[in-house]
Amino acid sequence: MQFEFSLKEKEVLKKNYEEALRDPQFVRLVKHLGLTDEEAMKKTTKILDTLEELKNCKSCRGLFACKNAYAGHVSTLEKTEEGIYGTYVPCKYKKQEWKLKALKECEEDDLTKARMKDIDVKDKKRVEVIKWLDGFYESFDFSKNMKGLYLHGSFGSGKTFLVSALFNELKEKKNVSTEIIYFPEILRELKGDWELYESRMKRYQSIDILCIDDIGAEKVSEWSRDEVLGTILQTRMNHNLTTFFTSNLTLEELEKHFTLTDKSDERIKARRIMERIKQLTIDMELISENRRS
């Protein structure tokens, strides 16, 4: 269906087009798209929108700072035999997000299927940790006050996989309720949906064995440290519930991470969190090859 412009509208279009032609970038884009003057005149506003979004992309620092109308995408025009159409193309940050999401889904699938028989025992650097996990599994008893593990070490060394293998065995063969929570993501979810807060917190405070994964990777605030983490740990400690942690940070580094300022009360609050972690766990290090690579 052809849309006809009135004489007045054509005059406005022509004026806008002539003004836009003063911009060299506008001229280059029109030439790149292979548009005639008439075609470009009808799409002047859309072309200018595209140029503005391309400009936004040049100075963009990530999806969180996207200024475009459709987050993570840039407006563009496409000329076909049927006509000229506006479309949106994903930016590099959006493509990276999709790639990471796909990778995460694969990793989550691997973690769900992980079993202790699948653990690679050839790496001597992992032997001590594997022996501890095996001993924990063999001696686990609901009636015992069993300490969990603070497993820290190099990025991609398999910390989460090892804990997942143990948890899956306990769930399948000893009917233990277990859960691994990726701490940075949990904080984002709790902050984004307050209706989840109470039910999630109750679960994390009461489940048989909990692993707080990648602690130290989150952005610290008084709320995340004292209201969320502190509350979970204090309740689990009071009820003698086993708690695990994985981290890229040592205990000393984690304490610095939790200290928001140099004020004495901040140091005390950070130390209070660390004392709870130390009460709940055995500290072990895992330095190994990056298995994600």
Query: What are the structural domain ranges in the chain?
Result: 7-94, 114-286
- The burial of 39, by beta-carbon neighbours within 10 Å (0-12 exposed, 13-18 middle, 19 or more buried), is given as middle
Chain position carrying tokens 């599994």: 137
Q: From CA 208, how far away is CA 243, in angstroms rounded?
A: 9
Q: From CA 100, how far away is CA 188, in angstroms rounded?
A: 17
Q: In the structure encoding, which two tokens stand for residue 174, read together?
A: 């000893």
Closest CA relative to residue 201, chosen from 220, 213, 186:
186
CATH number at 114-286: 3.40.50.300
Closest CA relative to residue 280, chosen from 240, 226, 253, 250:
240
Q: In the structure encoding, which two tokens stand for residue 83, read together?
A: 């006509």
Q: Which residues pair with 285 in a beta bridge?
A: 152
The dihedral built from the CA positions of residue 15, 16, 22 and 26, taken in this order, carries a sign that is: negative
Q: From CA 108, how far away is CA 88, in angstroms rounded?
A: 30
The pTM for the full model equals: 0.63
Quick one: how far is CA 51 from the chain centroid?
Answer: 31
The predicted pLDDT at position 121 comes to 76
What's the start-to-end Cα distance of the chain, in Å? 54
In contact, 120 and 214? CB cutoff 8 Å: no
Give φ, ψ of 217 to 5 degrees. Answer: -90, -10
CA angle 135, 132, 289 (to 5 degrees): 140
Q: Which helix (H) or strand (E) holds 143?
A: none
The predicted pLDDT at position 234 comes to 96
CA angle 210, 237, 180 (to 5 degrees): 10
The predicted pLDDT at position 108 comes to 64
In contact, 115 and 169? CB cutoff 8 Å: yes
Tens digits of pLDDT across the chain (293 residues): 445 567 777 788 888 888 988 999 999 988 988 888 888 888 888 888 889 989 999 888 888 789 988 888 988 888 887 778 888 899 888 888 787 766 666 666 677 887 878 777 777 888 899 999 999 999 999 888 899 999 999 887 789 999 999 999 999 999 999 999 999 889 988 887 888 888 999 999 999 999 999 999 998 999 999 999 999 999 999 999 999 999 999 999 999 999 999 899 999 999 999 999 999 999 999 987 665 55
In contact, 74 and 68? CB cutoff 8 Å: yes
